[in-house]
């Protein structure tokens, strides 16, 4: 069994811009649990624990998904929050194609027999997590003016999350397979 998710990843230069923009905010909010930049990605679908046979079927299906979706122009911009628990930066650009890709990945997972949550896809990159009652609004306000460079999402990634195997008992992410987005 492996704990899996499917994602697209911004390139290193885009992540460096975000990291630089966040430096002051990180220092001002040490109470938050900040995501490591090496873990930054845009999750399309979280799959949970998947056995080897199901994973093999999923890999084949995701390969087909990648051939039906074109690369997308995206940018990271500003910030937002999910209640008092999650601080994120939003995604701008080709959002309809990105949502379409997420829907296709969700459908492929379902056809492979993997139950996935049926909820609207909200493109974002998670920056930090707070504890109950944490006021994330000052951090959101501090990042409101951030505008990242536009980049092309040209690959789909199947990623394994090894819980507690990273630095300071964080998760360690391992890309198992990647596919170029080649649709037109």
- Residue 173 has φ and ψ, to the nearest 5°, of -100, 135
Q: d(Cα 58, Cα 64) in Å, to the nearest integer?
A: 10
Instruction: Count Cβ atoms below 10 Å from residue 25 Cβ, excluding itself.
Output: 21
**What are the DSSP E strand ranges found in 66-120?**
72-82, 86-93
Contact assessment for residue 1 and residue 50, using Cβ atoms and an 8 Å cutoff: yes
Helices vs. strands in the chain: H and E counts, helices first = 4, 9
Beta bridge partners of 3: 49
- Is 124 catalytic? The answer is yes
- Is 69 catalytic? The answer is no
Choosing from 29, 69, 77, 124, the catalytic residue is: 124
Choosing from 29, 41, 69, 157, the catalytic residue is: 41
Q: Is 92 helix (H, G, I), strand (E, B) or coil?
A: strand
Q: Which residues are catalytic?
A: 41, 124
């Amino acid at each position: 069994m492996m704990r899996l998710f499917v994602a697209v990843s911004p390139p290193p230069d885009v992540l460096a811009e975000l990291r630089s923009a966040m430096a002051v905010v990180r220092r001002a909010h040490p109470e938050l649990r900040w995501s490591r930049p090496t873990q930054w990605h845009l999750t399309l679908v979280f799959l949970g624990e998947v056995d080897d046979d199901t994973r093999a079927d999923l890999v084949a299906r995701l390969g087909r998904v990648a051939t039906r979706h074109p690369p997308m122009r995206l940018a990271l911009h500003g910030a937002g929050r999910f209640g008092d628990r999650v601080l994120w930066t939003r995604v701008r650009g080709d959002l309809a194609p990105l949502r379409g890709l997420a829907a296709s990945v969700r459908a492929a997972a379902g056809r492979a027999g993997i139950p996935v949550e049926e909820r609207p896809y909200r493109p974002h990159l998670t920056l930090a997590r707070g504890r109950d009652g944490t006021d994330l609004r000052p951090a959101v306000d501090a990042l409101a003016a951030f505008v990242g460079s536009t980049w092309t999402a040209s690959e789909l990634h199947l990623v394994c999350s090894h819980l507690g195997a990273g630095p300071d008992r964080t998760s360690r992410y391992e890309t198992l397979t990647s596919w170029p987005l080649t649709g037109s």
